[in-house]
Amino acid sequence: MAPYPVVEKPQTDHREYGPLVLDNGLRVVLISDCKCDKAAAALSVGVGSLADPKDCQGLAHFLEHMLFLGTEKYPQEDEYNEFLAKHGGSSNAYTADAVTNFYFGVSPDHLEGALDRFSQFFISPLFSESATDREMQAVDSEHAKNQQSDSRRFHQLLRNDANPKHPLCHFGTGNLETLKVIPEREGILVRQRLLDFHKAHYSSNIMCLVVLGRESLADLEDLVRTKFGPIENRGLVVPSGPDVGGGEPPFLPETLPRLVRCLPVKDMRAVVFQFVLPQQLPMRWRTKPTRYLYFLVGHEGKGSLLSCLKAKGLATELVAGPAMDEAGVCVFEVTVMATEAGESQVKTIGECVFAYVRLMQQMPVSEALFRETQLVEEMNFRFRSTPNPISAVSSLSHAMQDGLPLEKVLSGPAKVWDLNVDEISEVAALLSCSRLRLVLANKALEKEDGACPETEHWYGTRHGAGPLPLEWHTAWEESRTGGPAGGGAEAARVAGEALGLALPLPNPFVAEDLELKPQPPGGVPKYPWCMQPLPPELSRALEVACPAAVGSPSRLLQLYFRQDDTFGLPKAHLNIQMYCPWSSEGLWNRVATAIWSSAAMEELNEYAYDAEVAGLFYQLSANSRGISLRLAGYQDKLPLLLRKVAEKMSSADEVSEHTWGLVRMVLLRDATNAATTKQPYMQASEWEQRCLVKTAITSQEWLDCLSGMTREDISGTATKLLSCCYAEALLQGNVAEAGVSEVLQALLPALPKEAAAPAQIPPLGAAPLPGGPRSCVLIRRAGSNASERNGAVLLTLQAAEETLENVTMSELVAQVLSQRCFDELRTKQQLGYIVALQAHADGIGTGSCGIKVIVQSEKHPAEVHRRIDGWLGGALTELHSESSDEQLGEYVESLLAVKREKPKKLADEFQRNWAQVGQRRFQFSRREEQVAFLERPKAELLPLFRTFVREKLVEAPRIASEILGAAAAALPTDSDEARPYEGATTILETLDDILAFRERLTWQLSNTAIVA
C-alpha cells in the first residue's frame, strides 16, 4: 500500500489519518484510533434536494429515509438499526441541498458487521413497495413537525424568491402532496423514481467515506476496499457553484432590492438584511473573505453596530453570517432583533447598518485585525478538542465534498491562511441596496392592512413582498456612500464616530500562556477531590473578604478540583453554584433573580465579547436554588474575566432604566415563546414535571409573573442574593493545585463583607406517584399553539427508587426496547416523526427511576396512548418471559460498551463530574460502579433483570401527559380515535387540578447538608 498523505491535524489529536481514493473513485479518509471505544463511519453523497425532479420534490430526502429499510443482502427492515442497538450503536442521516450524509457509531468489536450492512445502502437497496408507502408518512410527519419552525419558514420564502428556473426555487423536504398526491395524479410511480434517482445520482465517484476504528490504517483500508469497492462508479459529473443552475442565475437581478414582510410563529421583531452575492466557498477556502466581514459586522464590543443600535434603544441582538453559500450564491445576512421602538424605525436601523458598511468599504482592511483573528483561529484549531467519533466522521465526510486537498481535510474549513485585501474589498463593495433583500418578521404586521396578503404554499406563512421603499433606499445609499459629498476613509471614520461606530480594538483576552502546567510527582487523582480545608492562601483571602468566613471558610465555599492529565489542552472549566435561599422562597424571587442575572450579563456584554471571540466563555444564570456561574476556555485569562463578572455581581443592586428595558424585552419575548410555541412533546414534559417535581413551574406561570414585574421590584436583588449564600465549585483543566487560589480569589468580590452562610441549602424534590401498582395519572391539555397540528403523549413508568442498581436496570430496558419501540410505533404504525423510549431518573439521588415513551403525532393523543399501551405491555412481557439469556446478554454487552466509553473532550468529562456536584451526590465513580454491576456473571444479573421488569416495571404506577394538537382537535368527538383513554385512575386537566394533586404528594428531598 502506498504511504498516506500527511493530514494537518490539531496538536493533541492522537488519531492517525489515512486519505486515499478507491479504484471506483470513492474518496476515503481512514482514522485509526488507538484509544477507540466507539467506532464510527459516515458516507456523504454529492447530491441533495437540489437534484429533485420538479414533479417529485423531496425525492432525495425520501430516498435517504428509504435506504434504512432493507437491502438485498439484509432485507429485514430494522436489521441495520437493530444490529447497532445490540452493539452499543446508533445511526442517523440528513439531506442538505447538495449533500446527503449517512452515519453511525458502534462498539469497536462490531465495526465490520456494521460496515457490511451500511455499505449495502449504496450497492443494493430494496425500496420495497410496502416500505415505500409507509415511509412517505414519516417524511410527511417530519414536515409537519417543522411547519411551526420560523427558520424553515423564512428559508422557504427565500427559496421561493429565487429564479423560478433555478433548482434553488423548490421545496426540499417533501410531503404527501409532492410524493403521493401529485405523482398519482401525473401517473408517476414513485418507487420507480427512487430506483432511477439512486441509479442516476448514487455513484461512488461523488461519494466521500470516513471510517474510524481501533484497527490499523492498513486493516481499515482492507475493510473499506472489501465493503465499499463494489459500489458502482457511474462517472457522474455533478455541477457546482454557478453551474448548478445550468446558466440561470440563482436570483434575478431585476427582483432586487426587495422588501418581504412575514408573520412569524414566535414573538419577534426581526429586521433581516440579506445581500445576494456570488458564491464564496469553497472556492476561496484559503482566504475566506466573508469571514473577516462577518466578524466586523457581527462584533458586539465597543464601537460595534450592535452597541450603536442598543445605545439608540433600537435593538437587543444582532447576528451576522451566511444564510446560504452554495449553488452559485452567497446570501450575506445581518439579522437585527429590534426593540418595540426599533420596529417603527427600520429606516434608522438601516442607516446605522449602512453606515457600518461604509466603514468596511472605505476604511483600509486592517492587517493587524486580520492577523489577530487568524491567530485565534490557528490557536483554536491547534488546541481543538478531539471530537466524538460520530461527530468526527459525519462532519469530515461532508467537508470532503468541498474537494479540498487531502492534507487539508481537517484544517481547511477551520483556518484562514492568506490575507487577500482585494477579495475582502471586492465582497465589501457588493454590500449595497442593489443586492438587498430585506425581511421584516413581526407579529404586529397582522394588524397592518395588506401587509401580508399571501399564504406560502408549503408552510402556510402569511407574507407580502414588493420593492424596497424609495425613501429607505435613498437614505441607506446615502449612509453607505456619504451622499453627494462622498469622501474616503477619513470621512467614513468621522461619520461612523458620530454614531458611535468604529472597527474593533485589539483584543486583550487573546491567550498568551499556552503552556501545560506540570503534573504533581505522585500523579493526578482519577476523580475530582474536595479541597477541604481550602488552600491556605484562598482561606485567608476569603476570611479577609468575608468576616463570616473567619474560622470556617468552607461554610461559604466548597471546592472540588482535578488537574487535567488526559486531554493536554491549555484550557479549564469552572462552574460555581451559589445557593441563595432568598431566590428559592417563591416564584417572584426566582424571576427577579433571572432578570438580575440577565441584566448583569447585558452590562458586561461589550467587555466580555472580546473574551468570547478569544475562546473564553461565561454564563451567569438563575435556577431554582440560586445562581450559576460557568466559565470555560483558555485558562490564561480566566481569572481576569471571573473577577470582572464577580465585581459586576456585587455592584448590580440597581439596574439602569436602559438595561432594564433591553433585558425585560428579551425575557418577555423568550417567555412568551416558551409559553406558546414549544413543541408538543416538550409541553408534555413540562406538565409532567409540574406534577412531580417540587420546584417546577410552567412557562405560562413564569410569563405571568415576569409580566407584572417592574424595575423597582428587582432593586437590591444582589444584596438579597449574596448576603446569605453558599457556593460549591468544580474546577478542572490546565490548572495546577498551586494555581487554584489565584483562580478562585477572583470570585471573592461577589461575596459582600456581611455575607453569611445559610443553615442548609435549598433542596430539590421529587415525588413518587400515590396511586399504587398499575395506576395511571393522566394529564390532559390542549396544545399551547392553535396552529400546531401535532399533539403528543409522554408516558412515564415510575418503577423504583433511583438506586444505582435500579437506574442501571432501567437503562438496560431502554437499551433493549428503544429500537423496537421506534420500529413498531414509528416505522410500522407511522404514529409520528418523533418516537423514543428512554430510561428515566429524577436525578436527585432520592427520587424514582423507570422508563418513558415519547410520541409526537397528528393522531389523537388518546389513540396514541392506547397504541403505546398495546405495544409496551407485550414488549415488557416478552422481555421478562420470552427473551433468552443469549439475546439479553447481547444488550448487556451493548450497554457495557456505552458505559465504558471514555469522555473524548475535557468538556465531556467536566459535565459528567458537574452533574454529581449539581445533584449533590458527589459519586464521581458512578459510571464505573455501573460497569461493575453489569459485569456480574450473567447467571446472577439476568434473573435480577427479569425480576425488575416483571415486579417493578410491569407493576409500575404511571403518569401520562396527553397534549391535544390541532389535527386531532378537529376530529368529531364521537369518532373512535377521539374516544377518551380508558385506563386513567386520576385525570388532571387544569393547573388547579395539578396544584390540588401536589398537595397529596410526599416529597423526596435531595441532599441539603453543608459539610464544613
Angle at CA of residue 570, ends 567 and 575, nearest 5° = 85
Nearest to 801 by CA among 836, 754, 766, 760: 766
3-state secondary structure of 309: helix
- Which sign, positive or negative, has the C-alpha torsion 273, 274, 276, 279? positive
- Which sign, positive or negative, has the C-alpha torsion 984, 989, 992, 994? positive
Nearest to 122 by CA among 148, 102, 152, 107: 102
Known active-site residue 64: yes
Residue type present at position 555: R
CA distance 596 to 711: 10
**Angle, helix 885-900 to helix 79-86, in steps of 10 degrees:** 70
Contact assessment for residue 357 and residue 296, using Cβ atoms and an 8 Å cutoff: no
Cell of 240: 457546482
* DSSP classification of residue 827: I
Q: Which value, in Å, is the radius of gyration of the alpha carbons in the chain?
A: 29
356-371 b/e (C-beta count within 10 Å ≥ 16 → b): bbbbbbbbebbeebbe
Contact assessment for residue 366 and residue 503, using Cβ atoms and an 8 Å cutoff: yes
16, 64, 326, 886: the catalytic one is 64
Task: Give strand pairing partners of 728.
Answer: 558, 577
Contact assessment for residue 101 and residue 397, using Cβ atoms and an 8 Å cutoff: yes
The two beta strands, 329-338 and 269-278, are antiparallel
CA distance 476 to 353: 8
Angle at CA of residue 853, ends 847 and 856, nearest 5° = 130
CA distance 426 to 292: 12
Contact assessment for residue 885 and residue 938, using Cβ atoms and an 8 Å cutoff: yes
Cβ neighbour number for residue 458 with a 10 Å cutoff: 24
Task: Calculate the alpha carbon distances from 564 to 147, 576, 996 in Å.
Answer: 45, 18, 49
CA distance 210 to 41: 5
- Which helix (H) or strand (E) segment holds residue 696: the answer is none
The two beta strands, 848-857 and 834-841, are antiparallel
Q: Which residues contact 781 (CB under 8 A, 6 or more apart)?
A: 683, 687, 961, 962, 963, 964, 989
Task: Calculate the alpha carbon distances from 491 to 305, 431, 443 in Å.
Answer: 18, 19, 39
**Angle, helix 699-707 to helix 587-613, in steps of 10 degrees:** 90
CA distance 391 to 412: 17
Helices (H) then strands (E): counts for the chain: 33, 27
CA distance 157 to 166: 15
Contact assessment for residue 480 and residue 354, using Cβ atoms and an 8 Å cutoff: yes
527-537 b/e (C-beta count within 10 Å ≥ 16 → b): ebeebeebbee
Cell of 691: 406534577
Residue 481 CA to chain centroid, in angstroms?
40
CA distance 678 to 157: 22
CA distance 336 to 331: 16
The two beta strands, 329-338 and 315-326, are antiparallel
3-state secondary structure of 338: strand
Catalytic annotation, residues: 64
